[in-house]
Amino acid sequence: MSKSVKSSETACVFAEPNSNMEAKLLYGLIHGSIMFAKFPFTATEQDFHSFIISWVGLLAQRKYQEAYDSVLHHDYYEWTPELMESIINGYGSEYEEGETKYEVTLPDETTDEGDRFDVIWYEGEVVNFVEGRERLAELGYQLPLNNDWSDLTVTFDLVKCFDGLYLQLKEIHVF
């Protein structure tokens, strides 16, 4: 079942939202205290990149719930804040005690140059991924882990709703 979150700022179809997400989004939109991945139709790749850098900052602060709440989700991937943390800590697999633990660090704290951001725009017919959302592009960002760039990559779908563009968490895995 789908629900809509509506306010003067946003409206988009959410597939099976977190029971607490609607309240947090509405509270955040009213009080300006939540970062949410909603963009105008005129947004640029730099706008998406800036948001993702901020999102990675939440992960570096171990604020997985806030990072989770700031993007859309699709039921297929079954993400939770706890699963996101476990997959990151396990370098693409669920973390098990006794293994090396990987943690997100800020991009400017890495030991080598550059950041790893990529956008693949879908050409031709737009793919309908979830009712009410059209996929326009896939955005990928290689995560900085333990102060080094990794090949553990987070991907988002850029989706179009009637009121703007949104980022929808897709995958966190090694490419």
Residue 141 has which token pair? 């960002």
Question: Considering the entire predicted model, what is its pTM?
Answer: 0.79
- Tell me, yes or no, whether 11 lies in a domain: no
- Tell me, yes or no, whether 90 lies in a domain: yes
Cβ 5 vs Cβ 27: under 8 Å: no
- Tell me, yes or no, whether 51 lies in a domain: yes
- Tell me, yes or no, whether 29 lies in a domain: no
Tens digits of per-residue pLDDT, 102-139?
999 999 888 877 678 999 998 866 665 555 578 899 99
Reply yes or no on whether the pLDDT at 40 is more than 90.
Answer: yes
- Tell me, yes or no, whether 130 lies in a domain: yes
Report the share of the chain in percent with pLDDT over 70: 74
Q: Which of 89, 142, 153, 155 is nearest to 113 (CA)?
A: 142
Q: Which residue has the tokens 């725009």?
A: 121
Tell me the mean pLDDT in the region 156-172.
92
The whole-chain average pLDDT of the chain stands at 80
Quote the number of domains for the chain. 1
Q: Please report, to the nearest 10 degrees, the dihedral formed by the alpha carbons of residues 79, 85, 87, 90 taken in order.
A: -170
pLDDT category of residue 48 using cuts at 50, 70 and 90: very high
Structural domain that includes position 50: 39-174
Give me the pLDDT at residue 1, please: 31
Cβ 119 vs Cβ 138: under 8 Å: yes
- Tell me, yes or no, whether 45 lies in a domain: yes
Tens digits of per-residue pLDDT, 55-106?
999 999 999 999 999 999 888 899 999 999 999 999 999 999 999 999 999 9
- Tell me, yes or no, whether 7 lies in a domain: no
- Tell me, yes or no, whether 151 lies in a domain: yes
The radius of gyration computed from the CA coordinates of the chain, to the nearest angstrom, equals 16
Greater pLDDT, 114 or 47: 47
Reply yes or no on whether the pLDDT at 174 is more than 80.
Answer: yes
